[in-house]
Amino acid sequence: MKTIIIFFVLMSSTLLNAQVNWVILNQNNSGLPSNSVKAIEFSANDTWIGTISGLAIKSANSWDVYNTSNSSLENNYVRCINIENNGTKWIGTSNGLVSINGSPSERGWTVYNSINSGLPINNITSVAIDSNNKKWFGTWGGGIALFYNNNWEIYNMYNSPLPANGIYDVKVDAGNNVWIATHGGGLVKFDGVNWSIFNVNNSNIPSNLVYSIDFDWQSNIWLGTELGLVKFNGIDHWTLFNSSNTGWNFSTVMCVKVDKPFQKVYFGTYEGMGIFANDAFTFMKTNNSGLSNNWVSTINIDADNNKWIGTLGGGISIYNESGVNVSNENLFADKSRMSIITYPNPVINYVQFTFNLFESTKVTFKFYDLTGKQLKVIDSEKLGAGVNTVELNLMDLPSGLYYYSIETNTGIKTSKLIKI
């Protein structure tokens, strides 16, 4: 299990009033086991993050990482996460499914696979839970698996009208209708009895490759497809948004997330993130925003309206147009009791760090910009236990707001400073 310590110390009124619209979490400054992120979900106290190298759980004071070496996970490629109202977490991987009841550090893991359960195949792509507590699992190659009252029921293209066995996404609407995004079969609606298939032959859906589904404040269905973003009223009206009518060069939409309270639609592409609001589009890429990587794989929104944007290669970008509102303790984790005094802050050219060490150790100072890019590294001589003061020259850094980390052999502490 990996725990990394990072917290913010705001030393001046100038810094306290600074608004930060973007915060980047990556392998350099957090406990993420990989910069390729596939799923993000929020529980009451924690953020659950699926990566291609394991499951990361960001709690109030720690980053915990679980993989095949220290947990019941049978594969480190975590593709999807969903959380029941009772707190049970369902984790889908490329080789099986696990549920976690209670703390993941305790014995609350249950493994489901094609050998010990009714799962038709072990590659799990999506998890949806309806209001009757039925679990719907999308698989890659095995269709849909329904799990309810310890019984399994399988729907595939051989025993049902489901047009394809490759499933990208499953969502359940307010009426408990199951909507299924397929590979090559278009969009499917299943109400428990009747099946409705929407494909290029019988509707105005632009492509039979549908990657993502979400529902808006007017019960419209928003789809990420191979050929663009689609708005569907659920009956007969389709609207396609792509490079021809948005002013932005994109085609494939990999993920869609609707922000119902603010009536906005966020969607991820290979070319950055798009936002649809008030009948207009805004587009964010690495060259015009704090987005860490243009390949956006997943988007979720927490209770404070922070947008958590998972990327393939750039970690997580947290965005809030009103200023990122994530508590210092929630962003990063603490492992030791080392305290830091930074003086002066704001900094002109020279800054002093005063901190206590509990044992003799070499100390490394690292400086990052707001995108998480490492700009400067300074290694100290071995320092003794007790209170130490180190003065550093920051003349080569331009004016701006920075993160810095102080790393020892017992952990990492991170804070912010302003260079003027």
Report pLDDT digits (tens) over 283-342.
999 999 999 999 999 999 999 999 999 999 999 999 999 888 765 444 443 334 455 767
The per-residue pLDDT for 397 is: 92
pLDDT (tens digit per residue) in 42-99: 998 899 999 999 999 998 667 888 988 888 999 999 999 999 999 999 999 999 999 9
Do residues 165 and 157 lie in contact, with contact meaning Cβ atoms separated by under 8 Å? Answer: yes
Predicted local confidence at residue 344, as pLDDT: 81
Instruction: Give the Cβ contact number of residue 180 at 10 Å.
Output: 29
Q: Note the pLDDT of residue 328.
A: 44
| Three-state secondary structure of the chain | CCCCCCCCCCCCHHHHCCCCCEEEECCCCCCCCCCEEEEEEECCCCEEEEECCEEEEECCCCEEEECCCCCCCCCCCEEEEEECCCCCEEEEECCEEEEECCCCCCCCEEEECCCCCCCCCCCEEEEEECCCCCEEEEEECCCEEEEECCEEEEECCCCCCCCCCEEEEEEECCCCCEEEEEECCCEEEECCCCEEEECCCCCCCCCCEEEEEEECCCCCEEEEECCEEEEECCCCCEEEECHHHHCCCCCCEEEEEEECCCCEEEEEECCEEEEEECCEEEEECCCCCCCCCCCEEEEEECCCCCEEEEEECCCEEEECCCCCCCCHHHHCCCCCCCCEEEECCCECCEEEEEEEECCCEEEEEEEECCCCCEEEEEEEEEECCEEEEEEEECCCCCCEEEEEEEEECCEEEEEEEEEC
| CATH no., domain 340-419 | 2.60.40.2550
pLDDT value for 17: 40
Query: Which residues of the chain carry a pLDDT beneath 70?
Result: 1-19, 60-61, 103, 105-107, 326-339, 341, 356, 358, 386-387, 410-411
pLDDT the model gives residue 245: 94
pLDDT on residue 333: 38
Fold of 20-331: Methylamine Dehydrogenase; Chain H (2.130.10)
pLDDT of residue 107: 63
Predicted pLDDT of residue 102: 75
Q: Give me 51's structure tokens.
A: 């990566």
**pLDDT of amino acid 285:** 95
pTM for the whole structure: 0.76
The domain locations on the chain are 20-331, 340-419
C-alpha pair distances (Å), 125 with each of 142, 212, 260: 11, 11, 25
The pLDDT value recorded for residue 30 is 82
